[in-house]
Amino acid sequence: MSTTQSRFHNFLKAAPKTAHPNPERYKWIVLTNTTLGMLMATIDLSIVLIAMPDIFRGIGVDPLLPSNTFYLLWMILGFMVVTSVLVVSFGRLGDMYGRVRMYNLGFALFTLFSLVLAMTWMSGTNAAMFLIIMRLFQGVGAAFLIANSSAILTDAFPEDERGMALGINQIAGISGSFLGLVLGGILAPINWRLIFLVSVPVGIAGTIWGYTQLREVPFHHDHHVDWPGNITFAVGLISLMVGVTYGIQPYGGSTMGWMNPFVLITVLGGIAMLVVFCFLEVRAPEPMFRLSLFRIRAFSAGSISTLLSSIGRGGLLFILIIWLQGVWLPLHGYNFVDTPLWAGIAMLPLTAGFLIAGPISGYLSDRYGSRPFTIGGMIGAAASFALLGVLPVNFAYWQFALLLLMNGIAVGIFAAPNRASVMNSLPADHRGVGSGMNSTFQNSGQVLSIGIFFTLMIIGLSGTLPGDLYASLVAHGVPLRDARRVADLPPVSTLFAAFLGYNPMQHLLGPQVLSHLPASTQSYLVSRAYFPSVISGAFKHGLQIVCSFAVVICLFAAACSGFRGPKITEPVHASDGEDSGLFAEPEDFV
């Protein structure tokens, strides 16, 4: 081992701080700091999402050019892909070298790269690529935070209070995704760099606070890094997610790229690599992904429920933004430049539902067990999706707000008890890796959900949008050849235009076509009302397909939650290195 490696190893192995003299006070310090960390990490995901038009304008990149779709997708999804890939490994490092130490490192990294992102000096596609790469490094810091926060909370709180603590932490993470929309809508029009800079003072304060106040819980950590498992898992998951992101882009004459050889190779290759990963983990003496933990019924049922719920609702944020920014707000007189802020404000009932239901359901699940809350939460989420699917595109806002509140309450009821059930079921020395595994299911489900939701929405748009757009343009005097050219553009371009709050008609028709039309017609075609009106019918068709899928997946998550068993009083000690399936024999269940 080199001198540098030896010093780093000694740093990681350094003796932990002594236990806090006041455990009762310390647990609230832990809850406050970890909740701040989760909130900061998740706000930064959605704040970029809502600020995308201002970012692209700021760096001088046209987001509607097909060649720039790559930058749009990876600026959003790259952060999520990195956290999905790394949370298990970083949870494992927390078990080996100290959860607090890894968590504090994550806080520092996240803060550093937030500052670097705010200092971007380039422009054009070079700036877009720089932002994507720095967002990947920012995601590394977020992965340290996400992987270890639940384990630190579980160490600090007694079993009968963990549901409440994990509920607050979990709901902070979920609600941060929606609070970021409001912050992005406020800060990005002032200066897009502010969306990254806002995290810096919070991150500095949280880093200093964590290093001075958080304490390690002594435990045996004589483990080794499972490099074959880490490599095959990372390659497999990245390959699969790259294939999903490129699958929603046009290919040749097709509206999507699912028949693209590159997409097929990456998706099938990713699945094959994950199968190899499972074989390696069964035989590894110190596996990264402890399959033996799946012998614990509460862990396996909770983790699969996490995956299904994330797939069922992970794309909701994107669909709501498209609905509000691209259709509803312009139809109600809002300028496109103002729609990001008002879209964030319009979705506040969803955040309110999370904040109301999460801590309460976590507290009640400590007393009555998690199963009734997780089942009921997913059934409620399915009902809210069903009602969203039948809501008119040009709805009355109070109806929309009630359904968002219902969805937020339902997911809040599910999330906290489900995470508490998973963490309570784990042996103490595997809480870091178990938390990372559960977070991997959640983050991977969100990325897959985005790909699935976009695919289903594009399928819905493809069925009716070309005909609707062609007929409308011809009716307003656009020459047949130009109307056909615009109508035959890939629906994904229309979807991204709505997502970004653009009316692309001036860009698509161009001055050559518009100049030959009457002034009143020109004005209407490029107005904020035309584009939302013409896509609303096709959007409704796609929305019904997406919501139907979400209903089915949420009901599957509810059914899976029913298999988690009664309230856990003591964690099961799964056998390390044992070849185990999804469920063990009944006598192995808690």
Query: Does the structure show a pLDDT above 50 at 64?
Result: yes
Q: Where are the domains of the chain?
A: 22-225+288-461+539-569+582-588, 226-287, 462-538
**Superfamily of segment(s) 22-225+288-461+539-569+582-588:** MFS general substrate transporter like domains (1.20.1250.20)
Decide: 75 and 48 in contact? Cβ < 8 Å: yes
Cβ neighbours for 222, distance < 8 A, ≥ 6 positions apart: none
* Euclidean distance between CA atoms 420 and 170, whole angstroms: 10
Q: Look at 413 and 315; give whichever has higher pLDDT.
A: 413
- Classify residue 517 as left (phi > 0), alpha (psi -120 to 50) or beta: beta
H-only helix segments in 157-260: 162-187, 194-197, 199-213, 227-247
* Euclidean distance between CA atoms 12 and 104, whole angstroms: 12
Nearest to 536 by CA among 403, 394, 400: 394
What is the chain's length?
Answer: 590
Q: Which pLDDT value is given to residue 6?
A: 52
pTM: 0.77
Q: Look at 386 and 301; give whichever has higher pLDDT.
A: 386
Q: Phi and psi for 341 in degrees, rounded to 5? A: -65, -45
- % pLDDT > 90, the chain: 18
Average pLDDT in the 489-496 region? 76
* Euclidean distance between CA atoms 77 and 450, whole angstroms: 9
Confidence of residue 118 (pLDDT cuts 50, 70, 90): very high
* Euclidean distance between CA atoms 182 and 186, whole angstroms: 6
Q: Look at 588 and 17; give whichever has higher pLDDT.
A: 17
Decide: 386 and 412 in contact? Cβ < 8 Å: no
Flag the least confident range among 165-179, 375-389, 568-582: 568-582
* Euclidean distance between CA atoms 111 and 127, whole angstroms: 20
Degrees to nearest 5, angle at CA 88 with 204 and 162: 70
Decide: 1 and 9 in contact? Cβ < 8 Å: yes
Q: Name the most confidently modeled range: 299-308, 353-362, 497-506.
A: 299-308
Residue indicated by tokens 């709505």: 498
Give pLDDT tens digits for 188-208: 888 999 999 988 998 999 899
Q: Which pLDDT value is given to residue 16?
A: 47
Decide: 349 and 401 in contact? Cβ < 8 Å: yes
Average pLDDT in the 89-103 region? 82
DSSP run (H or E) holding 549? helix 530-561
Q: Name the most confidently modeled range: 182-186, 405-409, 412-416, 424-428.
A: 405-409
Nearest to 381 by CA among 540, 138, 561, 203: 561
Average pLDDT in the 46-61 region? 84
Q: Look at 261 and 572; give whichever has higher pLDDT.
A: 261
